């Protein structure tokens, strides 16, 4: 499924996928996201809220019939609200991230955010017909995890792809700090080798350029 790639931070593909626990009662992202999309930009009050808002934006994107520029603009606010880009980059780059100047860090976060938005907009294009389901959150080894699935309207519920989000609550509410496949395959860990290699060779500016180039490639529709 092409859409799997946009849910992974890593440049590679991960094949192992597990089922969402049957004890978790799902609810529709379309219904849950409707209030999130229309409400003021307040801090998300539940772990599910930012993901429901993101999924709602992706649904709107794929049904909009708009070009990729407009789809990116539709998705951008929810990506900004859902992800803790600073925390993700810190874990991906490693200890050197704390040594960056404020301007270097801002430039890297901006490039990573643009890359993430462009990848979503490129994947969830008109005609994708993806369906999204958000389930209740659970606590595993001290981590708050929200369980979701992404499928296709022609697929059976059992064939949908399970995607789990690791959430952390901060001053701005709940934010995504990692994405898990198969219940434990960390996408931050999967991308760490790529990011560290680029960073060690060309620094923060080189990593920002790489992410910007990848975003530009996604935006070529």
Residue 212 in 3-state DSSP?
helix
Closest CA to 164 of 188, 198, 137, 125: 137
Q: Which of 26-30, 159-163, 171-175 has the highest mean pLDDT?
A: 171-175
Tokens 């690791």 belong to which residue?
A: 166
Mean pLDDT of the chain: 82
Residue 9 has pLDDT above 50, yes or no: no
The predicted-structure confidence for 74-83, as pLDDT tens digits, reads as follows 999 999 999 9
- Give first-to-last CA distance, the chain, whole Å: 19
Q: Which helix (H) or strand (E) holds 202?
A: helix 187-218
pTM exceeds cut of 0.85: no
Close Cβ partners of 31 (under 8 Å, ≥ 6 residues apart): none
Residue 173 in 3-state DSSP?
strand
Position 160 scores a pLDDT of 86
Residue 9 DSSP one-character state: S
Higher pLDDT, 159 or 32: 159
Position 43 scores a pLDDT of 61
Please, which pLDDT band fits residue 100 given cuts at 50, 70 and 90? very high
Residue 209 has pLDDT above 60, yes or no: yes
Residue 149 has pLDDT above 80, yes or no: yes
Please, which pLDDT band fits residue 181 given cuts at 50, 70 and 90? confident
Tokens of 23: 């004890």
Residue 166 has pLDDT above 50, yes or no: yes
Residue 176 has pLDDT above 90, yes or no: yes
Beta-carbon count within 10 A of 13 CB: 10
Position 41 scores a pLDDT of 54
Residue 86 has pLDDT above 90, yes or no: yes
The predicted-structure confidence for 30-41, as pLDDT tens digits, reads as follows 333 433 344 445
Please, which pLDDT band fits residue 53 given cuts at 50, 70 and 90? very high
Close Cβ partners of 178 (under 8 Å, ≥ 6 residues apart): 88, 91, 165, 166, 186, 187, 188
Tokens of 39: 């409400």
Residue 15 in 3-state DSSP?
coil
Residue 132: strand pairing partners:
150
Higher pLDDT, 157 or 97: 97
Give the phi and the psi of residue 143 in degrees, each rounded to 5. Answer: -100, 140
Q: In what order do the strands lie in the sheet with 27-28?
A: 27-28, 130-140, 143-152, 161-170, 173-181, 185-186
Residue 52 has pLDDT above 50, yes or no: yes
Q: Are 164 and 179 in contact (CB under 8 A)?
A: yes
Position 200 scores a pLDDT of 92
Position 179 scores a pLDDT of 95
Residue 134 in 3-state DSSP?
strand
Residue 194 to residue 115: CA distance in whole angstroms: 15
Residue 175 to residue 167: CA distance in whole angstroms: 5
Give the phi and the psi of residue 138 in degrees, each rounded to 5. Answer: -140, 165
């Amino acid at each position: 499924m092409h859409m799997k790639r946009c849910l992974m931070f890593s440049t590679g593909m991960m094949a192992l996928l597990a089922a969402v626990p049957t004890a978790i009662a799902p609810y529709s992202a379309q219904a849950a996201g409707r209030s999130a999309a229309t409400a003021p930009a307040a801090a998300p009050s539940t772990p599910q809220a930012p993901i429901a808002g993101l999924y709602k934006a992706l649904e709107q994107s794929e049904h909009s019939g708009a070009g990729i520029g407009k789809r990116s603009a539709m998705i951008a606010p929810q990506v900004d609200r859902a992800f803790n880009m600073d925390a993700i980059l810190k874990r991906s780059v490693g200890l050197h991230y704390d040594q960056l100047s404020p301007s270097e860090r801002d430039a890297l976060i901006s490039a990573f955010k643009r890359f993430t938005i462009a990848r979503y907009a490129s994947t969830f294009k008109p005609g994708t017909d993806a369906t999204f389901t958000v389930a209740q959150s659970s606590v595993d080894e001290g981590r708050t995890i929200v369980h979701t699935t992404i499928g296709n309207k022609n697929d059976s519920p059992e064939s949908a792809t399970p995607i789990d989000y690791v959430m952390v609550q901060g001053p701005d509410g709940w934010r995504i700090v990692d994405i898990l496949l198969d219940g434990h395959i960390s996408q931050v860990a999967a991308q760490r080798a790529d990011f560290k290699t680029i960073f060690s060779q060309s620094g923060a500016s080189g990593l920002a350029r790489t992410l910007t180039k990848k975003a530009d490639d996604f935006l070529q529709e």
